[in-house]
Amino acid sequence: MAASPSSTRSARGSARARPSVAVEDYLEKIEQLIQAKGYARVVDIAAGLKISQASVTAMVQRLDAEGFIKYEKYRGMVLTSSGLEVARRITHRHQLLTDFLHVIGVGDEQVVYDDVEGMEHHISPETFKAIEALTRYLEKNPALVTRLRASS
């Protein structure tokens, strides 16, 4: 009996497991705060993610233990190279999916934001690569986009 695609993927992914949705959200928020303010504090992360400071503290300690950040209580945190890699990957995924939805004509910014938040953590690398290629193609061919919109 052949292995299902999901079991094959999980077997292949065991050497380098993909971070959880929560880990990706935290690392993305930490990177955004560092870019905007020069630092990230527990209180700022809690406000940005709309969760309690106690929950953030627990996750920050976990991220530190897993090597995604360096955290010193009362002093703040910095992303490690692996934390920065994950944060930049999810930021790129977020931006590309936002671009894609805009290109195909989704105009309501709240819909775009909500849809991207729902998709960004659950899209396979293969699908992401295809969406990226299609988005870049459509951006370079606005006449095609106009024709597509007119036909729907």
Summarize pLDDT for 4-62 with one digit per residue, the tens.
444 333 333 334 577 899 999 999 999 999 999 999 999 999 999 999 999 999 999 99
Would the pLDDT of 127 be above 60? yes
Q: What is the pTM of this model?
A: 0.78
Could you tell me if 80 and 96 lie in one domain?
A: no
Could you tell me if 71 and 95 lie in one domain?
A: no
Counted domains in the chain:
2
- What integer pLDDT is reported at residue 148 of this predicted model? 83
Could you tell me if 100 and 69 lie in one domain?
A: no
Could you tell me if 29 and 80 lie in one domain?
A: yes
Residue 123 counted as domain residue: yes
Residue 57 counted as domain residue: yes
From its phi and psi, is residue 80 left (phi > 0), alpha (psi between -120 and 50) or beta?
Answer: beta
